[in-house]
């Protein structure tokens, strides 16, 4: 479902994965959207812009930005609104995951996951809200994860960060609703992106692969466009025909349920990891 009129989007994480796909999908949409594209990897972001014919477009601005920079977020959000006349939709997609049981995870990796995934979203939402409050409208969409509802051993710090994103988003939505600003949180299952592929070689992340194939970026795109149109508080996205969303909600309410059959599910994930390793290019 497409937006009804051209809008101004501010999108993080645009050098790869979901962010890259959303940037290209919106740039190619029939409606002439304005886009400010962000990523910490300036070289990769420049390649996305140049290789896909976006360079030089008056509708597209690309900026190198570290989502952990709170002051930088204020500058970016203001520049977006001043350049295009408004900031209509903020898509907070950038994220970071490092698999590992907590006893083996370096402190620096704990800090990075919390700083990027939690503080990055909070700083972005704060800056976006300040601009949107001045204009009296706007929509902030924060991408959490199904791991922000369920608890997944082997990626416990990532789970903590995405639980925080979900909780923050649900709470701040009520703060901003009375001002005409919507906040939505998207909780997708594993998505076929470079982030997922990086986990193939990590035994601790076996449970991530227990659900079979991941969602496609196109499926996530369709969910995001529907969120833009419908402005729900939360959207859980899983593969059609599966009950993983319901099971995640049940495990959230009744945590001991997650332990049932855990060893069997972990073994399924290990087998899926092994199958992926066999088909990966050498």
Tens of pLDDT along the chain (282 residues) come to: 344 789 999 999 999 999 999 999 999 999 999 999 999 999 999 999 999 999 999 999 999 999 999 999 999 999 999 999 999 999 999 999 999 999 999 999 999 999 999 999 999 999 999 999 999 999 999 999 999 998 889 999 999 999 999 999 999 999 999 999 999 999 999 998 988 888 888 888 777 888 777 899 999 999 999 999 999 999 999 988 888 788 788 888 878 777 777 778 788 878 878 888 776 554
Catalytic residues: 158
pLDDT at 2: 43
List, in order, residues 6 or more apart from 216 with CB less than 8 Å away: 191, 192
- Helix/strand/coil percentages in the chain, nearest 5: 50, 15, 35
Distance (Å, whole) CA 93 – CA 26: 14
pLDDT at 119: 98
Cα 104 to Cα 76, 100, 110, 156, 157, distances in angstroms = 36, 6, 11, 12, 12
pLDDT at 280: 59
pLDDT at 199: 82
Domains of the chain: 8-279 (3.40.50.720)
Backbone φ, ψ for residue 8 (5° rounding)? -100, 125
E-assigned strand segments in 31-137:
34-39, 60-64, 89-92
Distance (Å, whole) CA 172 – CA 125: 9
3-state secondary structure of 201: coil
pLDDT at 208: 80
pLDDT at 282: 44
């Amino acid at each position: 479902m497409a937006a009804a009129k051209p809008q101004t989007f501010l999108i993080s994480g645009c050098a790869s994965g979901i962010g890259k796909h959303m940037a290209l999908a919106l740039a190619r949409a029939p409606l002439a959207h304005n886009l400010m594209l962000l990523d910490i990897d300036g070289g990769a972001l420049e390649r996305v812009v140049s290789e896909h014919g976006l360079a030089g477009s008056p509708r597209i601005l690309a900026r190198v930005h570290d989502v952990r920079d709170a002051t930088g977020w204020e500058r970016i959000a203001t520049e977006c609104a001043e350049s295009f006349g408004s900031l209509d939709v903020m898509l907070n997609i950038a994220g970071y995951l490092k698999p590992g049981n907590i006893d083996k995870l370096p402190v620096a990796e704990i800090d990075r996951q919390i700083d990027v995934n939690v503080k990055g979203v909070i700083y972005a939402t704060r800056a976006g809200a300040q601009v949107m409050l001045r204009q009296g409208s706007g929509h902030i969409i924060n991408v959490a994860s199904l791991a922000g509802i369920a608890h997944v051993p082997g990626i416990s710090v990532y789970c903590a960060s995405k639980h925080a994103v979900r909780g923050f988003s649900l709470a701040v939505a009520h703060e901003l609703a009375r001002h005409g600003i919507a906040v939505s949180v998207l909780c997708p299952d594993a998505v076929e992106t470079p982030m997922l592929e990086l986990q193939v070689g990590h035994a601790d992340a076996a449970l991530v692969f227990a659900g079979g194939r991941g969602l496609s970026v196109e499926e996530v795109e369709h969910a995001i466009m529907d969120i833009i149109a419908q402005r729900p508080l939360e959207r859980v996205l899983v593969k059609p025909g599966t009950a993983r969303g319901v099971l995640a909600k049940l495990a959230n309410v009744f945590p001991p349920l997650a332990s049932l059959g855990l060893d069997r599910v972990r073994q399924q994930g290990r087998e899926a990891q092994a199958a992926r390793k066999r088909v990966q290019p050498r």
